Structure formats: structure tokens, C-alpha cells
């Protein structure tokens, strides 16, 4: 039975290129924070480690996990399947660990709708501007201009989901963004006051979508 000593679930989502993965890795360095390792049918990238960045599985195995009802959530993102298995997450939460989820808006919606007995805090990370996002994406996909352009189009759709998150944080400077997230997590856990300006965020989203 979940209690006050249980860990907290912290979801971070963002359109591609907002710097979420770096943020999640940095947050996981904090004491008592751990990243939930997802399963995916995507091929590993050269810099990725099996069973550390992802559990890389084929579609047959992924579908077996779906039919065994092992996923807390799963979704198709950019043509690949991604999912979070339930057991490791619940075990760690029961041991008091705070779990970080680097998942998309579909997964965030599913976890929210499960209404589990654990505290849940959801963050949506945004880039400072469309120009900066495009610069980051072209740097990341150097020889694949078409991918950067596709991701920009996807951005227009993904950004609309900001409204379903508890907090939206702009990643202009990694350290600053990290501190904002940590302060908000502390405030939620300890029922403290939250330094958060929803109107400012609303205006920022308007700029990004105009």
C-alpha cells in the first residue's frame, strides 16, 4: 500500500530538440532519483548502451509485453514503439526512490489517467525559440536536413500538449532550467510555495506557435 515514504513519479516530456534527455540525466545524478528505463523497438544509436539507455527489443517481444499487460504505458513515436514496464517502477517507488520518466505526451497522458497512489509531477520542456530549436536540430541531424525539417513540423503539433502538464519550463540555459525543475519538485514534495508564472508560459507558447 503506497505511503508518504514512497517515491514520487516525475515525468519530463518535450518536443524533440528541447534538451530533455540531458536534463533527465542531470536530475538522475541527484540522490534518490532514478531513470525509468524504457523498452523500444528502435535501433540503438552508436552512443547508446543496451539495458542502460533502453531495453532494445524486436516488435514480437514488444507485442508479447503488451499482451501480458506488462506496460504501465506505451506508445508509437516516430514509427517506433516505446513503453515503460510496470514492475520495476512500482518496486522502486515502494522503496522510496523518485522515478524520472523521459516519455512523450501519449505516455504522460496514460500514466496520469491511471491515477496511481503515488505523487506525480509532470513537466513539459520548451525551447527558448523556434530559431534556437532549428539550430539544435540541424546540429543533431547534421547530414539529414530532411529529419530536422520533419522534427520542426512535429514540433508544431507536439507543443500543443503543453496545457496538460503541471509545469512548463523553458530550456534556455541548462543549469537554470535544472534549478527551476528541482525547486518545483522540492516545493511539490514539501508543500512549499511554487515559483511559477503561467501567464509568462502562455505568452511564450503563443510566440512559439505564431
Minimum distance from CB of 210 to ligand 5GP (Å)?
24
Nearer to ligand 5GP, 140 or 203 (CB): 140
Which residue number is nearest to ligand 5GP in terms of Cβ?
Answer: 107
In this structure, are strands 167-170 and 38-40 parallel, antiparallel, or unpaired? unpaired
Does residue 109 touch ligand 5GP according to CB under 6 A? no
Min separation Cβ 1 and ligand 5GP, Å: 26
User: Does 38 help bind ligand 5GP (rule: CB under 6 A)?
Assistant: yes
Rounded least distance, CB 104 to ligand 5GP, Å: 4
Cell for 187? 516545493
Residues in the chain: 210
How far is Cα 26 from Cα 174, in angstroms, rounded to an integer? 9
34 is a site residue for ligand 5GP (CB under 6 A) = no
Q: Record the cell numbers describing residue 42, joined without a space.
A: 528502435
38 versus 122: smaller Cβ distance to ligand 5GP? 38
The grid coordinates listed for 157 are: 503539433
- In which element (H, E) is residue 201 found? helix 198-209
CB of 69 to ligand 5GP, least distance (A): 15
* 111 CB-contact burial (10 Å; exposed 0-12 / middle 13-18 / buried 19+): buried
* Angle at CA of residue 65, ends 76 and 74, nearest 5°: 30
77 is a site residue for ligand 5GP (CB under 6 A): yes
Minimum gap (Å) between residue 115 Cβ and ligand 5GP: 18
Positions touching ligand 5GP (CB under 6 A) are 38, 42, 73, 75, 77, 82-84, 102-104, 106-107
Amino acid at each position: 500500500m503506497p505511503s508518504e515514504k514512497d517515491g514520487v513519479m516525475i515525468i519530463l516530456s518535450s518536443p524533440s530538440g528541447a534538451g530533455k534527455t540531458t536534463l533527465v540525466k542531470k536530475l538522475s545524478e541527484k540522490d534518490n532519483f532514478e531513470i525509468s528505463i524504457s523498452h523500444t523497438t528502435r535501433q540503438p544509436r552508436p552512443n547508446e548502451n543496451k539495458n542502460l539507455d533502453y531495453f532494445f527489443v524486436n516488435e514480437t517481444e514488444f507485442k508479447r509485453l503488451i499482451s501480458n499487460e506488462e506496460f504501465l504505458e506505451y506508445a508509437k513515436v516516430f514509427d517506433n514503439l516505446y513503453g515503460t514496464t510496470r514492475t520495476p517502477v512500482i518496486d522502486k517507488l515502494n522503496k522510496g526512490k523518485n522515478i524520472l520518466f523521459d516519455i512523450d505526451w501519449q505516455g504522460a497522458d496514460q500514466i496520469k489517467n491511471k491515477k496511481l497512489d503515488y505523487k506525480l509531477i509532470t513537466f513539459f520542456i520548451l525551447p527558448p525559440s523556434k530559431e534556437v530549436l532549428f539550430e539544435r536540430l540541424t546540429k543533431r541531424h547534421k547530414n539529414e536536413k530532411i529529419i530536422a525539417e520533419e522534427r520542426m513540423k512535429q514540433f508544431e503539433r507536439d507543443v500543443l500538449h503543453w496545457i496538460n502538464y503541471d509545469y512548463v519550463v523553458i530550456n534556455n540555459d541548462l543549469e537554470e532550467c535544472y534549478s527551476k525543475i528541482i525547486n518545483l519538485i522540492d516545493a511539490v514534495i514539501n508543500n512549499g510555495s511554487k515559483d511559477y508564472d503561467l501567464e509568462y508560459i502562455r505568452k511564450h507558447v503563443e510566440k512559439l506557435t505564431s
